[in-house]
Amino acid sequence: LRLLTVASGLGAGDARTAEAPAALMAAGLGARLAALGYDVDRHHLPLSRSDSPSAADEKHAAISDICRAVAGEAADAIASGERMLVLGGDHSIAAGTWAGAARALRHRGPIGLVWIDAHMDAHTPATTPSGNWHGMPIAHLLGEGDAELAALAGDGPALEANAVSIVGVRSYEPDEAALLTRLGVRVIGMDEIVRRGLPAVMSDALAIARRASAGFGISLDIDAIDPLAAPGVGTPVAGGITPADLRAALAGIAAALDCLGLEVVELNPARDIGHRTRDLVLALIEHAFATADLAGRAFPAAAE
């Protein structure tokens, strides 16, 4: 298991999400993965600590550097036959993670993705109201937006729209919805989750991701979860997915043979209440990578 920790919050409004990997490791993540039987190979980014850039062009250069490095790590992990657990940091790194995986598997076919998030993350530099790069990674993975970030997968976009869905959406701008509609990405909003239940929509999302022949990934933005249960995020939106529903939906998923890996982003320890969000993230990761034995265990006992 390639555990890639990315201590960067450059793409977020509140950069303290960079502290998430250290918080998760200090709380025993490595031992938990080892207890599940994984041989954990940890790599860490960024390799050097730079001053936080403030000018827009400096920030763009820094984000590009990190995403390129993340893509290199992901491509290397997948080419080596390793499964991935990528821990952010903010969600802008996803433009690197899945571009790298796609690049490594291009000879076999396309990859699919299930994106779980309160937001669409489908802005481009031309439409973003905040200028924050964590609101744009889906656009980059689909070949839109910033030319440098959209090119990280090598020949062509990282993802084809018909193998991507976004689950849990309840906050977005019209430009994002228009882009996703134009490209044909399935967006599963909270209203649909309330109506049909998370198991039914996750089944749809997995079927969409598995249209791609070379495997699929999961990108989990912790703000998809209801902020009453997961307050430790930079951009909380009321009315999200319950921890119990998400635990059940993710159980064993990252251990599936055709799953390339799980990315978990936007945990912000500085905004947590107690260690509520951190402990929830640990339990979700553990359940996602576990086989049926652990998936059946009472929740969230694993976090205590």
Positions in the binding site for Mn ion (CB under 5 A) = 91, 117, 121, 221
Q: Residue 175 is which amino acid?
A: D
Nearer to Mn ion, 144 or 221 (CB): 221
Nearest-approach distance from CB 37 to Mn ion, in angstroms: 30
Nearest-approach distance from CB 138 to Mn ion, in angstroms: 8
Torsion region of 266: left, alpha or beta (phi above 0 gives left; psi -120 to 50 gives alpha): left
Nearest-approach distance from CB 226 to Mn ion, in angstroms: 16
d(CA 56, CA 63): 11
The answer for residues whose C-beta is within 8 angstroms of residue 118's C-beta and 6 or more apart is: 168, 169, 170, 171, 221, 223, 224, 235, 236, 237, 240
Nearer to Mn ion, 82 or 146 (CB): 146
Residue pair 265/93 in contact (Cβ under 8 Å)? The answer is: yes
Nearest-approach distance from CB 221 to Mn ion, in angstroms: 4
Q: Residue 71 is which amino acid?
A: A
d(CA 120, CA 179): 10
Nearer to Mn ion, 122 or 302 (CB): 122
Nearer to Mn ion, 73 or 221 (CB): 221
If you write DSSP's letter for every residue of 30-64 in order, what string do you get?
HHHHHHTT---EEEEE-SS--PPP-SHHHHHHHHH
d(CA 225, CA 237): 9
Nearer to Mn ion, 60 or 91 (CB): 91
Nearest-approach distance from CB 130 to Mn ion, in angstroms: 13
Nearer to Mn ion, 64 or 171 (CB): 171
Structure tokens at 32: 């938990």
Nearest-approach distance from CB 296 to Mn ion, in angstroms: 30
